[in-house]
Chains A and B, each alone.
Chain A
């Protein structure tokens, strides 16, 4: 208990002191928060970070909250069963942390109108279903900015997971910013069709390295590409979803970190206060949902400085990751000079920007 109090931030502690105590005074049961994970909590990436968010909720609220989770839940009927089970066991708030849980989340939510649901990265909402996602593409822009400058072969490898807007957005953002600092840069993209499969990811990394890539970006969650890059030597990588700092300073030179903790704490608080409403949240670097992991000394100092400047500009909103002029891959105009992309287009992005070679798999 002591450690928990120590660890929670001062700001949080103040709000808690008020609301938490009232909840106690009412004699409420602890608020029960459930988490449905698509991978194992030890994946070192996506699910790991969601679980860190869960632990932050426990840390922030102490014994006023009880959290439960089920890991490795396949997308489909199993997910519906696990959610229902949590609701039956008295959960007040359930976070479903994979895009593929969308229809099941809505289906179960309709049966439990008093339970609040939060679906990560989805686009369907209802009275008791909120959606939330992070603007990872802002982090991709910083990655591209660094990658374009440190590559010597001008070939940047990209391990993509599934051809969905989220992933395509990341490729486009990284490419645009790599190309801005290095017009000769070329992207080689491998589709792994998985979020987490160390063997496949390592294979993809090796294929890219053999094709001359000396920077490998990944949209998959394991550290296998980092290990492959380390074995190959002189190949740079970026941590994905979590910091993966065990591979710093080389090959991992920076990372995109998903930080769900502030959001999870805030939403749990809202349920405790009775102020929870259904909404759509899409936060980026500015709100702290996307973090840029420490840029190591393997990167030249001036590159590091300009990358940090870009990060800060994205955070305060003075720069948008997608700013015109940008054409689509087929040469048609997308963004005029100075125009920024609207969220609707970004949310459903299904095209490459001009300069990327290859087709999005159909």
Chain B
């Protein structure tokens, strides 16, 4: 007989062990899946998790992990504030898109000027755009009590339509022969979010992600605001008695995640992606939710989780190209990661008891 028993306190050990166990379980079940597909599971696992870091071509893949992981970490850090406080911003993807549109629009309005001011202006506009888009569900929630999960999610689709409209209309490249898509910002020095050291993958978005991690760490562990965030999530009533204004908390948390999402979008559009196109967004805003939870909503955890997620993208691409693995198998692997994490998470708050169940 086996019984699940609630722990008096969440296990500190399992808080750290759960993600590791989830990764191991994912590798095992993933390996079985790959074997069922007729591939050598060890070879596939090695290709996905080891080759991008240490193979002969790793000099190319390592920077790619930074490029892929940068926006994920930036987005996830923003989301973690709200998630800790029980505020569910599911629409980071939309804020990411709007940030990119606003930033790119400010830049393109000044084309083809050459001044060092353009890029900082774009950064500012990107953050503001993402912030403003996040304020819509935040204000609706505070003012009318709407559900921020639904509103922020729905606004993703609105943002996608706006993106298509921009790519086809206002921001379309006048020299693009009628094809959709803006000018390529990364080919215009004043607006380009270039690699800071050539071949390193380090662009301003990656730098911003690292800064966000440090900033979030300090705020959450050392600052009174961090305490209020945690209190709001764990004991909303107690937070209220302690003088935390829930409305203000919603506005601030949504604002932070919106602004960081907007920044991520801007750095992407001015750098790796280069242009506003109909399919500019590739789901970073949603993947970041996985990253945030995989990282235990802790800044350092998110940094590691973002790196791991980026690794599966890069390694997954290699496995497809070299071993003929279908794309869906990689997506399954990524989905399993969150699935197992949530499953294993039970052990943080509960424990197994073996032997004769004492009926409560």
* A interface residues with partner B (beta carbon < 8 Å): 34, 40-41, 68-78, 80-82, 84-86, 88-89, 99-100, 103, 123, 162-165, 193, 347-350, 361-362
Indicate whether B197 reaches chain A with its CB closer than 8 angstroms: no
Chain B contacts with A in 112-142, Cβ cutoff 8 A:
none
Bound-complex Cα distance A157 to B178 (A): 24
* Contact indicator A165/B327 (Cβ below 8 Å): no
Shortest Cβ distance from residue A108 to the other chain B in the assembled complex, whole angstroms: 11
Closest to A76 in B: B273
Q: Check A123/B168 contact, CB under 8 A, given A70-B321, A85-B321, A89-B322.
A: no
* Contact indicator A164/B178 (Cβ below 8 Å): yes
Indicate whether B274 reaches chain A with its CB closer than 8 angstroms: yes
Closest to A191 in B: B164
Shortest Cβ distance from residue B147 to the other chain A in the assembled complex, whole angstroms: 24
CB pairs A–B below 8 angstroms (11 shown): A34-B321, A69-B320, A72-B327, A74-B279, A77-B67, A78-B68, A81-B67, A82-B321, A85-B57, A165-B177, A362-B169
* Contact indicator B168/A361 (Cβ below 8 Å): yes
Indicate whether B272 reaches chain A with its CB closer than 8 angstroms: yes
Bound-complex Cα distance A360 to B169 (A): 10
* Contact indicator B165/A347 (Cβ below 8 Å): no
Indicate whether B266 reaches chain A with its CB closer than 8 angstroms: no
Chain B contacts with A in 260-319, Cβ cutoff 8 A:
268, 272-275, 277-280, 282, 313-314, 317-318
Q: Check A76/B317 contact, CB under 8 A, given A123-B177, A165-B178.
A: no
* Contact indicator B277/A75 (Cβ below 8 Å): yes
Q: Check A163/B168 contact, CB under 8 A, given A78-B317, A88-B57.
A: yes
Closest to B280 in A: A76
Q: Which residues of B contact A70 (CB under 8 A)?
A: 317, 320-321, 327
Chain B contacts with A in 176-228, Cβ cutoff 8 A:
177-181, 184
Q: Check A193/B273 contact, CB under 8 A, given A70-B317, A88-B60, A165-B177.
A: no
* Contact indicator A99/B179 (Cβ below 8 Å): yes
Indicate whether B64 reaches chain A with its CB closer than 8 angstroms: yes
Q: Which residues of A contact B109 (CB under 8 A)?
A: none
* Contact indicator B328/A40 (Cβ below 8 Å): yes
Indicate whether B247 reaches chain A with its CB closer than 8 angstroms: no
Q: Tell me which of B68, B179, B280, B318 has the highest count of chain A C-beta atoms within 10 A of its own C-beta.
A: B179
Closest to A362 in B: B169
Q: A75-B279, A103-B184, A362-B165 are in contact. List 8 more A-B contacts (CB 8 A).
A: A77-B268, A89-B321, A103-B274, A162-B168, A164-B180, A348-B177, A350-B178, A361-B168
* Contact indicator A162/B321 (Cβ below 8 Å): no
Closest to B325 in A: A70
Q: Which residues of B contact A362 (CB under 8 A)?
A: 165, 168-169
Q: Which residues of B contact A100 (CB under 8 A)?
A: 181, 277-279
Please provide the 10 A-B residue pairs with the shortest distance between their CB atoms, ordered closest to farther: A77-B272, A362-B169, A72-B327, A350-B178, A74-B282, A348-B177, A70-B320, A348-B178, A76-B273, A71-B327
* Contact indicator A76/B177 (Cβ below 8 Å): no
Shortest Cβ distance from residue B55 to the other chain A in the assembled complex, whole angstroms: 10
Chain B contacts with A in 62-99, Cβ cutoff 8 A:
64, 67-68
Q: Which residues of B contact A84 (CB under 8 A)?
A: 60
Q: Check A77/B273 contact, CB under 8 A, given A70-B321, A89-B322, A362-B169.
A: yes
CB within 8 A of A81: which of B268, B279, B314, B328? B314
Bound-complex Cα distance A64 to B324 (A): 18
Bound-complex Cα distance A281 to B61 (A): 34
Closest to A193 in B: B164
Q: Check A85/B317 contact, CB under 8 A, given A77-B67, A165-B178, A193-B164.
A: yes
Q: Which residues of B contact A81 (CB under 8 A)?
A: 64, 67-68, 314, 317
Q: Which residues of A contact B268 (CB under 8 A)?
A: 77
Indicate whether B326 reaches chain A with its CB closer than 8 angstroms: yes
Closest to A67 in B: B324
Bound-complex Cα distance A84 to B61 (A): 10
Bound-complex Cα distance A354 to B187 (A): 39
CB within 8 A of A162: which of B180, B273, B274, B275? B180
Closest to B187 in A: A103
Bound-complex Cα distance A88 to B181 (A): 29
Q: Check A76/B321 contact, CB under 8 A, given A361-B165, A362-B165.
A: no
Bound-complex Cα distance A100 to B317 (A): 18
Chain B contacts with A in 228-275, Cβ cutoff 8 A:
268, 272-275
Q: Which residues of A contact B320 (CB under 8 A)?
A: 69-71
Q: Which residues of A contact B61 (CB under 8 A)?
A: 85
Q: Tell me which of B177, B178, B321, B324 has the highest count of chain A C-beta atoms within 10 A of its own C-beta.
A: B321
Q: Which residues of A contact B168 (CB under 8 A)?
A: 162-163, 361-362
Q: Which residues of B contact A80 (CB under 8 A)?
A: 272
